[in-house]
Amino acid sequence: MHPLHTRPIPPYLILEEWTGKNLRVLLLKAEHRHDFPDFFSAQCTFLYNHPDHLFLQSNEPIYTFLIQLAGIEAAWIHFRKASHTLISPIRAPFGGIEGYKNIRGECFHFLLNCMHKSFRTLEVEHIQISLPPACYSGNTDQEDQFQESGFLIGKRNLNLHIMVDQVPLHEKISKNQVRRLNKCQHAGFTAGEIPVSHQLYTFLAHCRYAKNHTLSMSEAQLISLKQTFPDQVRAFGVYDRQQLICASVVVSVNQHIMYCFLPASLPAYNPYSPMVMLYHTLYQYCKETGITVLDLGISCDENGAEKPSLQKFKIQMGGIPLSKSTVTANGNSVHQALTSS
């Protein structure tokens, strides 16, 4: 990712600006999708920070801190306001810094200072940022730099992912899961891509309800996501003859990473564990399309508590556990970081 020369930022978007040595930070406020300068989409690394996705998450204004180095747009982070907190993102798996990756300590520290100065203007007291999982390129440095700049780890979960390479998935999974995969195949189950539709959502909701769980998005939100990103949002399912027994939505976060989202299966088929067959199919799809990371996500219930049994299953499916963190700061922690430097 390299800096991108762009047209000047429209003055009506700028709420505040601060200048330092060879750098400037702008605080922007965008109320509509067309307010966003083109580079926010052209230089976007992850789908969740794309302007089109941001305005699916909420219709509330977006506040963006934009770092310019030598007059060139170099890095940025988008926020929404909730009560007295700036949140990145308001409704997505993660947000965080986008843009040029060589943003180091002094820039981060200056950015933190600017965020602190913006508290009064934005009438906020806290900042909360959900960072990409550590398996996503560049995240470990980002977490370290936030901490060095005075942010605290608010929450850390284990995120599981499968590296997609030339090794077949059945050689990566446990012997128990190999037996379950064989059991599904011997039963004549089939798997493949299916439409993102009302029928799919009804199936997912039914499976979740049967286990006293809920879905994290409405049907309208899922359909809007598919309509906005038709090539990045897909679904896959497992069938017993004509009956759908297991399914998941998948999101191409970028050209190298695919996220398995909303997986669910019929409880009556638990003895077969058709999710094993579904993961096997997703792994094959990733190999065929050049995707190198199959992100299985965190393993938490609706209250954010981790589910050890689900973590164990993902590990047995070849999942590699790495951290996914949320960093936080408030007026006091920011002030202490700034005065101690």
> pTM, whole model, 2 decimals?
0.92
DSSP H or E stretch at residue 209: helix 198-210
Each residue of 120-131: pLDDT tens digit? 999 999 999 999
Task: Give residue-wise pLDDT tens across range 231-282.
Answer: 999 999 999 999 999 999 999 999 999 999 999 999 999 999 999 999 999 9
Element housing 136 (H / E)? none
CA distances from 158 to 103, 292, 307, 308 (A): 26, 19, 10, 10
**Band (3; pLDDT cuts 50, 70, 90):** very low
Do 248 and 260 meet the contact criterion of CB atoms below 8 Å apart?
yes
Q: How far apart are the first and last CA of the chain?
A: 30
Tokens 């059991």 identify what position? 183
pLDDT at 53: 97
Please state whether beta strands 85-88 and 126-130 pair in parallel, antiparallel, or not at all (unpaired). parallel
CA angle (123 as vertex; 122, 128 as ends), nearest 5 = 80
Q: 122: how many CB neighbours lie within 10 A of its CB?
A: 17
Distances (CA, A) of 91 to 45, 49, 81, 134: 18, 11, 12, 20
Given a contact cutoff of 8 angstroms between Cβ atoms, the answer to whether 160 and 297 are in contact is yes
- CA–CA gap between residue 224 and residue 44 (Å, rounded): 20
Count Cβ atoms below 10 Å from residue 109 Cβ, excluding itself: 18
Please count the residues of the chain: 341
Task: Report residue 99's pLDDT band, with 50, 70 and 90 as the boundaries.
Answer: confident
How far is it, in rounded angstroms, from Cα 238 to Cα 314? Answer: 18
Q: Which residues of 166-197 are buried (b: 16+ CB within 10 A; e: fewer)?
A: eeebeebbeeebbebbebbeeeebebeebebe
Tens digits of residue pLDDT in 123-163? 999 999 999 999 986 555 678 878 887 889 998 999 999 99
